[in-house]
Structure formats: C-alpha cells, structure tokens
Amino acid sequence: MTSMRDSTHAAGIDGPASAASEAVASADIAEITASRAALLHACFSADERAHLSGRPDATIAGFLAVKRAWLDLAARFADGTACTERDIELSHSANGAPIVIRAHGPVDAARLRISVSHTRDTAYAVVCMAGGAS
C-alpha cells in the first residue's frame, strides 16, 4: 500500500519547511521473494541490478519502496510526462545509506533526501524534497 502526504515540517532538509514535500511508500518483502528476477528487470537499471546482486530481499524491497515514493512525489510536479521506476537510479553511499544517483523527470535529484527502514515483512521509504520542482 502506498500513501503520501504533504509535510508541514521537514527536519534535516534544507530550505523553508513550508516548501518541503514528502512521499511515503512501502514494498512487501514477500513480493520480492516471490518475483525477484522479474521485479529486478522491470524496475531496476543494469547498474542497479549489479549493485543489488546477492543483497537480501529486504534491501531490494527498500529500493523499490524509494522508487514508489519518488513516483508519488514526481507525480505532484509532473507536466504530463509519465515517470517509471526506471527513471530514478539508486545506490548506497560509502557509509551504506541509500542515495539517488540519477532521477529523470520534474524532481531535481540533488534536492532529494531519502530514508529507508524495514520490518521483517515490509520495507518503508520516505522521499523528501525542499523547494518544489526544478
């Protein structure tokens, strides 16, 4: 289930809090386990697939949740251009935090902040952006 909401506060995000937007999404880890190869091919670039090779299903579910949250956020600023999961590319920073490598569409990747967490069954992601679309 995917949900989104406008944020009235944005701790840790540059810019005025009133201009920040966020989207929240989830991905079932069982969904990844059941159809890992198909989801990797449909939703992830070749570089992402290589990066995720051998990683746990929870990590892949976290990346998928980020992509879903980003799609929700991008839809708010879209000019009619459709975006897909493959329009955003993710990786991990040196300290293991998820990072946006590239994002096409109405949302400037440099202004995105993401947070990912998971339970035993579900991965959750929050994607925040300050200042509106670029």
Query: What is the residue-level pLDDT of the chain in tens, covering all 134 positions?
Result: 333 333 323 333 334 443 458 999 999 999 999 999 999 999 999 999 999 999 999 999 999 999 999 888 888 777 767 788 988 899 998 998 888 888 877 777 788 889 999 999 999 999 988 765 55
68 near 126, Cβ under 8 Å? Answer: no
Domains and CATH numbers, the chain: 3-129 (3.90.470.20)
Backbone phi and psi for residue 111, each to the nearest 5 degrees, phi listed first: -100, 5
Q: What is the DSSP letter of 94?
A: T
Supply 59's token pair: 């990590």
Residues 99 and 47 sit within 8 Å (Cβ to Cβ):
no
**pTM of the entire predicted model:** 0.79
Task: Please name the residue ranges forming H helices in 1-134.
Answer: 29-43, 46-52, 57-77
